[in-house]
Chains A and B, each alone.
Chain A
Amino acid sequence: MASFAYSQGTIIVNNYSKFDFYGFLMATNSTSGCYPRVGNDGVIVVPAESHMGNGLELVYKDYMGQFSSSLYPTANWVVTLNPTSSSIMAWNNVNLSPGGTIATTTKWYATKFDMMDAGTTNSSTENFRANMNIANACGTGINNYFVTSSGNNSAEMFTISGITYLQLY
């Protein structure tokens, strides 16, 4: 069934902030335990003010298809199958195909990011950086909202109907 083929769900990143998002998006076992775990290898950059309102949001429907369909493609994924074994897989590695075991047993759950002044690699003086996650089978608890100490910026992560959203303000 098609729904199984995309059980990892879609992830959408809406960056409404004036900073560039430099970060990682991670998926983990959707039912129990922490493996497999999948995250992008090279940092993903979603420029300031890139969101659904202007069609510049990041959309990853699956590990493989995102390379051709997303505005911000990930070429390589770090795949961790157990605590002692981790490997880098290219986006078109057959093991990452939508119907494969890795895709069908994982679900987006976490991010870590550092927001940079737009167009630079200088961390924002707002210290707008965080590790965040939604409820997950790995049992890390829920940490789905972050606000900077100044209160000027915030981020939220949540799931609606199989789509996981990370929104930065």
Chain B
Amino acid sequence: MIVNNYSTTYDFQGNISAHNFAGGCYPYVTSSTPAAITVPANSHTGNGQELAYKNFRDQFTGSLYPTTNWTVQLSPTTSQVRAWNHVSIAPGGVIASNVKWASSQFQMYFAGTSTPEPSFSGLIGESPDPCTGATGYISTPYGDAEWFNITTGNVDYSYLQIY
């Protein structure tokens, strides 16, 4: 999962979710601590400041913007919070092996402030996806967001890019 925030005006704040795509939406895993991951303005692969999450666990030590806890839903009505290093969500385990990055609920803020740009927000992700209802492209007068996937060498990369 890569988030490139090319906007020089706004910080990205949001969560990131992954879920099962093989018949049903569960397990469904969402970043929950911090409540909003912040990727500052002008943070992207061009300057090495992008958000890069390889998996639920290794992102904690490998990413510039670590997630401490993930909320895991195994059914529509139940959920539990798992720390980044819990075996339940470790790479190679049943949950990690059966989910794919799917969406992000985000809000853009004026860089370095807690002042939101109300119109520059949304639920973006894999589209169409009945599990999230996310849209793959969001266009506003203040900037755009796009979600897409690239597969190289049997590895799936999901990209969220903000302009």
Assess whether B78 is interfacial by the CB under 8 Å rule.
yes
Q: Between A and B, how many residue pairs show CB distances below 8 Å? A: 49
Answer whether A157 and B74 are a contact pair too, CB < 8 Å, given A14-B94, A169-B88. yes
Across the interface, which residues of B come within 8 angstroms of A160, CB to CB?
A: 20, 22-24, 26-27, 94, 98
Docked CA distance A165–B92 (Å): 15
Residue of B with least CB distance to A16: B87
Contact with B along A135-161 (1 / 0, CB 8 A): 100000010110100000010111111
Assess whether A11 is interfacial by the CB under 8 Å rule.
no
Assess whether B140 is interfacial by the CB under 8 Å rule.
no
Assess whether A52 is interfacial by the CB under 8 Å rule.
yes
A52 near B94 (CB under 8 angstroms)? Answer: yes
A154 near B80 (CB under 8 angstroms)? Answer: yes
Assess whether A53 is interfacial by the CB under 8 Å rule.
yes
Assess whether B54 is interfacial by the CB under 8 Å rule.
no
Assess whether B77 is interfacial by the CB under 8 Å rule.
yes
B23 near A161 (CB under 8 angstroms)? Answer: yes
Assess whether A80 is interfacial by the CB under 8 Å rule.
no
Residue of B with least CB distance to A155: B88
Q: Tally A residues with Cβ within 8 Å of B.
A: 21
A169 near B86 (CB under 8 angstroms)? Answer: yes
Answer whether A167 and B86 are a contact pair too, CB < 8 Å, given A135-B75, A145-B80. no
Assess whether A134 is interfacial by the CB under 8 Å rule.
yes
Residues facing A in B100-151 (CB within 8 A) are: none
A169 near B78 (CB under 8 angstroms)? Answer: no
Residues facing A in B50-74 (CB within 8 A) are: 72, 74
Q: Which of A53, A145, A159, A167 contacts B78 (CB 8 A)?
A: A145
A147 near B88 (CB under 8 angstroms)? Answer: no
Residue of A with least CB distance to B86: A169
Closest CB in chain A relative to B24 CB, distance in Å: 7
Across the interface, which residues of A come within 8 angstroms of B22, CB to CB?
A: 160-161
A144 near B74 (CB under 8 angstroms)? Answer: yes
Chain A interface (Cβ < 8 Å from any Cβ of B): 12, 14, 16, 52-53, 134-135, 142, 144-145, 147, 154, 156-161, 165, 167, 169
11 contacts between A and B (CB under 8 A): A14-B94, A52-B94, A135-B75, A142-B78, A154-B80, A156-B74, A160-B22, A160-B24, A161-B22, A161-B98, A169-B86
